[in-house]
């Protein structure tokens, strides 16, 4: 099955996690996600319940397990700095996350 379909060559097999860019609008209750620190990076551990959850309604939506790499065009040195950047965002977050 599928032999000779480019397996093991170039782009057929993804190398590591996918990089995904998304934008999350801030709602009255925040961004609708819970975070934890894994290896110094912020990882999404929960998307809060509710149809109006901004993280679920982002395009593309965020998912549990996504690791946040870039926040509004900037990387962060420590998890504490990353949390401060998220809390300081007034309108929304332009994020680059790693998935997979």
Residue 48 domain-assigned (yes or no): yes
Instruction: Give the pLDDT band of residue 32 (cuts 50, 70, 90).
Output: very high
The CA distance from 39 to 57, in Å, is 27
For 44-85, how does the pLDDT look when each residue is reduced to its tens digit (9 = 90+)?
999 999 878 999 999 999 999 999 999 999 999 999 999 999
Structural domain count, the chain:
1
pLDDT at 29: 87
pTM attached to this predicted model: 0.82
Query: Helix, strand, coil % (nearest 5) of the chain?
Result: 15, 40, 45
Residue 83 domain-assigned (yes or no): yes
User: Domain containing 76 — which CATH number?
Assistant: 2.30.42.10
Tell me the backbone φ, ψ of residue 7, rounded to 5 degrees: -65, 135
Check pLDDT > 60 for residue 98. yes
| Percentage of residues in the chain having pLDDT higher than 90 | 79
Residue 3 domain-assigned (yes or no): no
Q: Which domain holds residue 90?
A: 14-99
The CA distance from 54 to 98, in Å, is 19
């Amino acid at each position: 099955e599928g032999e000779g379909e480019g397996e093991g060559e170039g782009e057929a097999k993804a190398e590591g996690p996918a990089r995904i860019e998304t934008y999350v609008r801030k709602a009255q209750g925040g961004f609708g996600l819970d975070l934890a620190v894994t290896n110094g990076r912020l990882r999404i551990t929960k998307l809060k319940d509710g149809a109006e959850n901004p993280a679920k309604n982002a395009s593309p939506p965020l998912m549990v397990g996504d690791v946040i790499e870039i926040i509004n065009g900037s990387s962060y040195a420590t998890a504490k700095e990353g949390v401060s950047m998220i809390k300081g965002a007034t309108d929304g977050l332009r994020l680059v996350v790693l998935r997979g």
